[in-house]
Amino acid sequence: MKILILGGDGYLGWPTAMYFSRKGHEVAVVDNFNKRKWEMEQGVKPLLPISTLHDRVGVWEKITGKKIKMYIGDLTNERHVQKVFEDFIPEAIVHYGEQPSAPYSMIGNHSAAETQINNVVGTLNVLFAMKRTCPSAHLVKLGTMGEYGTPNIDIEEGYITVNHKGRSDVMIFPKRAGSFYHLSKVHDSHNIEFACRTWGMRATDLNQGVVYGLETEETKLDPKLNTSFHYDAIFGTALNRFCVQAVADLPLTPYGSGGQKRGYLNIIDTLQCVELAVLNPADKGEFRVFNQFTEVFSVNKLADIVKSCGEKIGLQVKIMNIPNPRKEAEDHYYNPVHTKLLDLGLEPNKLSDVLINSMLKKIIENKGNIVKEILLPTILWDQKSN
What residues act catalytically? 144, 181, 185
What are the beta bridge partners of residue 159? 172
Contacts for 190 with CB less than 8 Å, ≥ 6 apart: 172
CA 318 to each of CA 85, 244, 246: distance values in angstroms, whole numbers, following the listed order = 51, 13, 8
Q: Report the alpha-carbon distance of residue 278 to residue 189 in Å, rounded.
A: 18
Q: Report the alpha-carbon distance of residue 202 to residue 206 in Å, rounded.
A: 13
Q: Report the alpha-carbon distance of residue 76 to residue 99 in Å, rounded.
A: 12
Q: Report the alpha-carbon distance of residue 232 to residue 369 in Å, rounded.
A: 12
Residue ranges of alpha helices (H) inside the chain are 13-22, 34-42, 53-64, 78-88, 102-105, 109-116, 122-133, 180-199, 238-247, 267-279, 299-312, 340-344, 353-365
Q: What is the DSSP letter of 235?
A: T
Q: Report the alpha-carbon distance of residue 231 to residue 36 in Å, rounded.
A: 15
> Beta strand 159-164 with 167-172: parallel, antiparallel or unpaired?
antiparallel
What's phi and psi for 149, nearest 5 deg?
A: 75, -150
What number of other Cβ atoms are within 10 A of residue 89's Cβ?
12
